[in-house]
């Protein structure tokens, strides 16, 4: 009886430019320690993979111009990024760091506090169209990597991976929990009501109500959206979803893409990739790749793949 009435364990902490949240229903004896480990894990992944600290292992590897030893999370994240680059036929491309810096996103911008505006630049940002594939080299025995010649950004995929690794830490001590890190989440078990976790898909166009509510159970959920991380450079709008085919912010007619799947890192990669494919192609690409997705077009229209319908408990009219 005590266990049934136990309050859920909820932890919030700032990490990776967002606020992460962990919630464990009916926490057992080891739950508190597992959540501590999750918080430490996020801190370690952030420290190793951030691009906002020139002394981070990732930025040192970027600057090395050749082989460079990196710690475990950074090494694993680079390996996963390289695999995703191939899997998405190069549309997922971590080398867009150069373009983000050109657009003024060279420091952590205060998106949470309101509209961000940067001074206009003398010249238009340089756009690099990536023709050759990214081919980093890995030495597992030495845990060394050669990422160059272009510098890379692991922002999104590192967050998805942190969620994946956090789930591994929680599984031994909980069966009903979620880990949510600003757009990337995993929802284990049937949730508090037994009908799955109720996940609201935020309105990317700024509305306060969600555009849809999904019942998610033992699945990851990731959203790529321009709602939060967008800014202005002078009179020109910019956002963080860079299309490697053009070297500029994606302009494919989509405001957000949500992907549901078994793995948080893969869901993160595909939400970004489908976003870059744009409104005209998202449906056919999702069908071809077998991705479960929901998206909002720039005009507010909502689209879904057929297989997300059973999870859709509510959607905006």
Which chain residues interact with another protein by CB under 8 A? 18, 21, 23, 156, 178, 180, 182-185, 187, 191-192, 197-204, 209-210, 212-213, 221-225, 227-229, 256, 258, 271, 282-288, 294, 301-307, 309, 312-317
What is the distance of C-alpha 218 from the center of its chain?
18
- Nearest to 234, CA basis, from 101, 127, 104: 104
Nearer to another protein, 99 or 184 (CB): 184
Nearer to another protein, 99 or 202 (CB): 202
Nearer to another protein, 137 or 309 (CB): 309
Closest approach, Cβ 216 to another protein, in A, equals: 9
Strands 116-118 and 230-233: parallel
Separation CA 110–CA 124 (nearest Å): 23
Nearer to another protein, 20 or 70 (CB): 20
Closest approach, Cβ 138 to another protein, in A, equals: 27
- Nearest to 221, CA basis, from 170, 179, 168, 254: 179
How big is the CA angle at 130 (ends 127 and 134), to the nearest 5 degrees?
135
Separation CA 243–CA 130 (nearest Å): 10
Closest approach, Cβ 81 to another protein, in A, equals: 16
Closest approach, Cβ 294 to another protein, in A, equals: 7
- Sign of the CA dihedral 215, 179, 220, 7? negative
Nearer to another protein, 224 or 273 (CB): 224
Nearer to another protein, 27 or 204 (CB): 204
Please name the residues in contact with 47: beta carbons below 8 A apart, sequence gap of 6 or more: 53, 56
Say whether the peptide bond before residue 258 is cis (omega within 30 degrees of 0): no
Identify the bridge partners of residue 188 per DSSP, sorted by sequence position.
177
Closest approach, Cβ 183 to another protein, in A, equals: 3
Separation CA 216–CA 196 (nearest Å): 5
Closest approach, Cβ 151 to another protein, in A, equals: 21
């Amino acid at each position: 009886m005590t266990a049934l009435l136990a309050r859920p364990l909820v932890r919030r902490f700032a990490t990776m430019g967002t606020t992460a949240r962990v919630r464990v229903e009916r926490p057992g004896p080891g739950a508190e320690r597992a959540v501590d480990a999750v918080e430490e894990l996020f801190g370690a992944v952030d420290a190793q993979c951030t691009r906002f600290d020139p002394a981070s292992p990732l930025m040192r590897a970027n600057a090395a111009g050749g082989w460079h030893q990196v710690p475990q999370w950074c090494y694993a994240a680079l390996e996963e990024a390289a695999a995703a680059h191939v899997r998405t036929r190069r549309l997922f491309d971590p080398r867009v760091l150069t373009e983000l810096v050109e657009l003024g996103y060279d420091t952590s911008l205060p998106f949470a506090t309101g509209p961000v505006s940067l001074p206009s630049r003398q010249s238009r940002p340089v756009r690099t169209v990536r023709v050759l594939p990214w081919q980093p080299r890995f030495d597992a025995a030495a845990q060394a990597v050669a990422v160059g010649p272009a510098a890379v950004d692991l922002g999104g995929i590192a967050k998805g991976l942190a969620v994946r690794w956090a789930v591994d830490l929680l599984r031994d001590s909980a069966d009903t929990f979620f880990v949510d890190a600003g757009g990337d989440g995993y929802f284990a078990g049937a949730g508090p009501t037994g009908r799955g976790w109720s996940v609201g898909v935020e309105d990317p166009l700024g509305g306060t109500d969600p555009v849809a509510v999904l019942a998610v159970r033992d699945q990851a959920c990731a959203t790529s959206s321009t709602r939060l991380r967008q800014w202005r450079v002078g009179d020109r709008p910019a956002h963080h979803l860079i299309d490697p085919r053009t070297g500029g912010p994606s302009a494919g007619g989509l405001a957000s893409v949500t992907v549901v799947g078994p793995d948080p890192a893969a869901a993160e990669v595909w939400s970004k990739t489908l976003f870059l494919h744009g409104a005209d192609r998202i449906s056919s690409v999702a069908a071809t790749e077998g991705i479960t997705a929901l998206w909002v077009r720039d005009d507010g229209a909502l689209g879904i793949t057929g297989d997300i319908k059973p999870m859709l408990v509510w959607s905006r009219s």
